[in-house]
Copies of this chain bind each other. A is one copy, B any other.
């Protein structure tokens, strides 16, 4: 029933945009444009407009009641003071779901809370479910539906629930830069009817959602969240960022969504216990999404590092200590195998500093030996891109990827290219090969820590199941 209910929103056969307009300075235009942009979208789209007879060549209706066919979902973008009368029309039209984008309700004051409650109650009586008010909308990249006023992210396997629409928007900018794709997106807004919990349940069973990422300011039902998380994390990773952790943050959150936030420490303990990833800041949130999108957990914890930079090796090692990572001690067998691939200056210890002359073939040869070595479970392929010796910016990465692919990607590859976000060739290769790139040692060690924790969690779960 729930699944069906949200399916209507994410897979609508017909959509009415109420408040559509050709004025680019209005949200009604942004949503209209976003929906119509994708020519492959099979949902029928109807525009309801007060002012424009035609928008981008499509005829408009004065009212949803004038539309001939059935309507699955109505997206409401009219001013707050007329939302109720528009909802009345939607009820009369027997739509299945409503998204109220319009702001100016419960997030403002008590009066707003009353107003939204009246609207929701009417819909409940009519058996219509509502997303919003005060939201940016939802997206389903699987069918090319962008029913929101924010940008369309690349298509992929991460679904996001965000209690801040603009935060979702910013995360999409970063995901795009990290070539991570999105499956579904939901901004809850005031969440008066369809709640955070509903989206979480839907994404749990959604086959295209491989990872769930959550930006959270408040939780209404802590017990449900905890139990739900415990179920989900056995099947797919869940990554959480909490806004409003501190006294100042909570105060700001209260004026943002009008809700009281929960005690952070208790929440964090519960979330971690349930097997989800609790990120401490926005950068870790992105790193976690990147890591769990592209890499599978390792069998063991022994890290092998190859690099062309001594400084890099030192700083990586400092960071590795932060999370107690285990740097593998190279076996004599491995030393012997890598020896022919190294110049004489190179000391055969971990981290392996092959110095600046190391090029694609060195990276390939040595990484391959590491991937095949039983004493190494995770390979960190690190380089400072050399602007000398006629080297190409992506050649080290190419060598690593080749070794990774040829050994069946059985162990995680952590590519670490310090401060090299500016090299487009790296990004293109990452996109083509579906590989992450990490740009600081912290990102790399955090990624390793998450992968090891995920492995431990899954092992533990499967053990406790057997008992």
Residues of A whose CB lies within 8 Å of any CB of B are 24-27, 29-30, 103-104, 108, 149-151, 162-167, 169-171, 173-174, 176-177, 215, 217, 243-249, 251-253, 255-257, 281-283, 286, 308-322, 327, 345, 347, 349, 351, 353, 355-356, 384-390, 418-422, 440-442
**How many angstroms from the CA of A82 to the CA of B294 in the assembled complex?**
49
- Select from chain B the residue with minimum beta-carbon distance to A312: B166
Beta-carbon contact of B169 and A281 below 8 Å: no
**How many angstroms from the CA of A27 to the CA of B349 in the assembled complex?**
25
Question: A411: shortest Cβ distance to chain B, in Å?
Answer: 21
Pairs across A and B, CB under 8 Å, 7 listed:
A167-B309, A173-B419, A243-B314, A246-B317, A246-B318, A251-B317, A283-B442
- Select from chain B the residue with minimum beta-carbon distance to A283: B440
Closest 4 CB pairs of A and B: A164-B311, A167-B311, A256-B310, A166-B309
Beta-carbon contact of A255 and B347 below 8 Å: yes
**How many angstroms from the CA of A269 to the CA of B27 in the assembled complex?**
53
Beta-carbon contact of B150 and A388 below 8 Å: yes
**How many angstroms from the CA of A389 to the CA of B32 in the assembled complex?**
12
Beta-carbon contact of B387 and A317 below 8 Å: no
Residues on B with beta carbons closer than 8 Å to the beta carbon of A384: 166-167, 169-170
Residues on B with beta carbons closer than 8 Å to the beta carbon of A244: 314, 317-318
Beta-carbon contact of B243 and A318 below 8 Å: yes
Copies of this chain per assembly: 2
Residue in contact with A345 in the complex, picked from B108, B249, B286, B312, CB distance below 8 Å: B108
**How many angstroms from the CA of A64 to the CA of B306 in the assembled complex?**
39
Residue in contact with A256 in the complex, picked from B103, B248, B311, CB distance below 8 Å: B311
Residues on B with beta carbons closer than 8 Å to the beta carbon of A355: 103
- Select from chain B the residue with minimum beta-carbon distance to A187: B311
- Select from chain B the residue with minimum beta-carbon distance to A255: B347
**How many angstroms from the CA of A317 to the CA of B103 in the assembled complex?**
23
Question: A18: shortest Cβ distance to chain B, in Å?
Answer: 18
**How many angstroms from the CA of A249 to the CA of B351 in the assembled complex?**
10
Beta-carbon contact of A173 and B249 below 8 Å: no
Residues on B with beta carbons closer than 8 Å to the beta carbon of A308: 166
- Select from chain B the residue with minimum beta-carbon distance to A167: B311
Question: A219: shortest Cβ distance to chain B, in Å?
Answer: 14
Known: A246-B321, A347-B255. A418 touches B170 (CB 8 A): yes
Residues on B with beta carbons closer than 8 Å to the beta carbon of A167: 309, 311-312, 315, 384, 418
Residue in contact with A318 in the complex, picked from B25, B245, B347, B440, CB distance below 8 Å: B245
Question: A359: shortest Cβ distance to chain B, in Å?
Answer: 9
Interface centre among A347, A351, A389 (most CB of B within 10 A): A389
Residues on B with beta carbons closer than 8 Å to the beta carbon of A252: 310, 313-314, 316-317, 351
Beta-carbon contact of A387 and B151 below 8 Å: yes
Residue in contact with A419 in the complex, picked from B174, B321, B440, CB distance below 8 Å: B174
**How many angstroms from the CA of A257 to the CA of B163 in the assembled complex?**
49
Question: A202: shortest Cβ distance to chain B, in Å?
Answer: 22
**How many angstroms from the CA of A373 to the CA of B153 in the assembled complex?**
40
- Select from chain B the residue with minimum beta-carbon distance to A112: B345
